[in-house]
Amino acid sequence: MTYQEFYTHIDCRFPYHDTAAWQQLIAQSLEIGGDVPFLVLHEICRLPTSVTLNIEQHLAMYAYWKTVFSHCVQDIVEPASLALIQRQLLSDADVIYIMEQLRAYSQQYSALQVALFACVDEQGVVDAKYEEIASEWQR
């Protein structure tokens, strides 16, 4: 399965309330590799408004993802991940700091998006930083 096929498969269809199913998707993302495990992280952290999940379940899902997948980017993006899960946004400066650290890990767009959505970004500076880094990676 390609990245795009996997994305289409889980986008707006992530099985938050089916433990076996989301664990299988995490395993499948690891098999595909690349940015795909961070695509799953993005789905885990950014619940759709139609989904209700208590904080313990949400943190358990994140903890499971973190224990079965090992990548140096995990620690960098963790503050943004936890902020999204706990619905406690970070400052724009904190997110830009995370993004600058992620810059060194080319093609990790989904990890970069987790950071992007972890703040309000009223001035558009975080979105501009996202576009700057994504454009750099595309070159």
Q: What is the pLDDT of residues 15-50, one digit of tens each?
A: 999 999 999 999 999 999 999 999 999 999 999 999
Give me the pLDDT at residue 96, please: 98
Give me the pLDDT at residue 53, please: 94
Give me the pLDDT at residue 12, please: 85
Give me the pLDDT at residue 94, please: 98
Alpha helices in the chain (DSSP H): 3-10, 19-32, 36-45, 55-68, 73-86, 92-102, 109-116, 125-138
Ramachandran angles phi, psi of 124, nearest 5°? 80, 10
Q: Are 119 and 98 in contact (CB under 8 A)?
A: no
117 pLDDT more than 90: yes
Ramachandran angles phi, psi of 62, nearest 5°? -65, -45
**Separation CA 111–CA 31 (nearest Å):** 18
User: pTM of this prediction?
Assistant: 0.94
User: Which residues lie below 8 Å from residue 135, measured CB to CB, with a gap of 6+?
Assistant: none
71 pLDDT more than 90: yes
Angle (deg, nearest 10), helices 3-10 and 36-45: 20
